[in-house]
Amino acid sequence: MPPSSMTLRVSLFAGMAEAAGRRTIEVPWHGGTVKDVRQAIVAMLPGLEPLLARSAVALGDRYASADEPVPAGADVAIIPPVSGG
Amino acid sequence: MAGCASPIAVCREVVTITDDPIDPTALLAAVAAVAAGGNVLFVGTARSMTDGVATTCLAYDAHEPLARSVLAGLLAAARDRFSLIACGVAHRLGVIEAGEASVAVAASAPHRQAAFEATEWLMEQIKRDVPIWKCEYRPDGSHAWVHGDAVPRSDHVVRAERDNLSAVTSHE
């Protein structure tokens, strides 16, 4: 079943996925910006807040700024501090 | 690979993200050019100890589409900034045993200094902004994802810094 227009699917990675116990979460969504996505995640999973505060947010294949609008159905991902190399 | 049909295509910025072992020689060959006087290859390997704690293996996770996009942007920036002929990055994902290569960066330039500097600069940017994460596994079976404190930077922030830097340079 496709995600309802009232939820937003958010991808999680690495320690963030481990803290949430899953790689994707669906947060209630009535439209808003990247900043609102952060608030919706914390409201649902308060335990993610410390790592989320140090994370960037991506829309599709690029990093997004805090005031960018996020339409329902957007490809949203939380990007915690990286450790590649 | 960003916009490339193969590592030896006309595109001279090569991005490879793979679950298979990295082939550093192939990456070096991909940046080779007759106009190059310096070809630098850096290979990062999984070490057996970190801060006195043994690591049995590493596991890498990534947001692949974003990683490819950010890497393609970094390679293009490196080519401009250091006047490279070509450059490339290969990063491995999944489980990596100690001693195996996790990342390789190669750059070619008319003179060696630019190739050395570009390779180091690219590694710094990769470790700062590319959405790839490592998990360290220890002999007691425990594991820990490695997350520093630096928030990965958005493209526009990186671009603004770069423009600011080139503006400063042009005033000198």
Predicted structure pTM score? 0.88
CB contact under 8 A, A61 and B68: yes
Closest residue, chain A, to B68 (C-alpha): A61
Query: What single string gives the DSSP state of each residue in B9-69?
Result: SS--EEEEEESSPP-HHHHHHHT--TT-SEEEEEEEE--SEETTEE-SEEEEEE-HHHHHH
Residues of chain B in contact with residue A14, where contact means CB-CB under 8 angstroms, are 61, 133, 135, 145, 147
Closest residue, chain B, to A12 (C-alpha): B63
Chain A residues with CB within 8 Å of chain B CB: 11, 13-15, 17-18, 51, 54-56, 58, 60-65, 77, 79-85
Is the ipTM above a cut-off of 0.90? Answer: yes
The two beta strands, A76-79 and A7-11, are parallel
Closest residue, chain B, to A54 (C-alpha): B151
List per-residue pLDDT tens for chain B, 172 residues long: 444 444 433 347 889 999 999 999 999 999 999 999 999 999 999 999 888 889 999 999 999 999 999 999 999 999 999 999 999 999 999 999 999 999 999 999 999 999 999 999 999 999 999 999 999 999 999 999 999 999 998 655 656 665 666 555 444 3
CB contact under 8 A, A14 and B129: no
